[in-house]
Chains A and B, each alone.
Chain A
Amino acid sequence: ETGVTQTPRHLVMGMTNKKSLKCEQHLGHNAMYWYKQSAKKPLELMFVYSLEERVENNSVPSRFSPECPNSSHLFLHLHTLQPEDSALYLCASSQSPGPNEQFFGPGTRLTVL
Chain B
Amino acid sequence: QKEVEQNSGPLSVPEGAIASLNCTYSDRGSQSFFWYRQYSGKSPELIMSIYSNGDKEDGRFTAQLNKASQYVSLLIRDSQPSDSATYLCAVSGNTPLVFGKGTRLSVIA
Contact = CB atoms under 8 A, between A and B. Distances in A.
Interface of A: 2, 33, 40-43, 45, 48, 56, 88, 90, 97-107
Q: Is the interface of B mostly helix, strand, loop or mixed?
A: loop
Interface in B82-109: 88, 90, 92-97, 99-102
Given A104-B43, A106-B42, A43 B99 contact: yes
B53 interface: no
The DSSP consensus for interface residues of chain A is loop
Contacts, number: 53
B43 A99 contact: no
B96 A48 contact: yes
A29 B11 CA distance: 35
B45 interface: yes
A29 B95 CA distance: 16
Interface of B: 4, 30-32, 34, 42-46, 49, 88, 90, 92-97, 99-102
A100 B43 contact: no
B45 A104 contact: yes
B95 A98 contact: yes
9 contacts: A40-B101, A42-B102, A43-B44, A56-B96, A98-B92, A99-B32, A99-B95, A101-B34, A104-B45
Nearest to B31: A99
Contact of A103 (B46, B88, B90, B100): B46
A109 B102 CA distance: 19
Contacts of B45: 2, 104
B49 A101 contact: yes
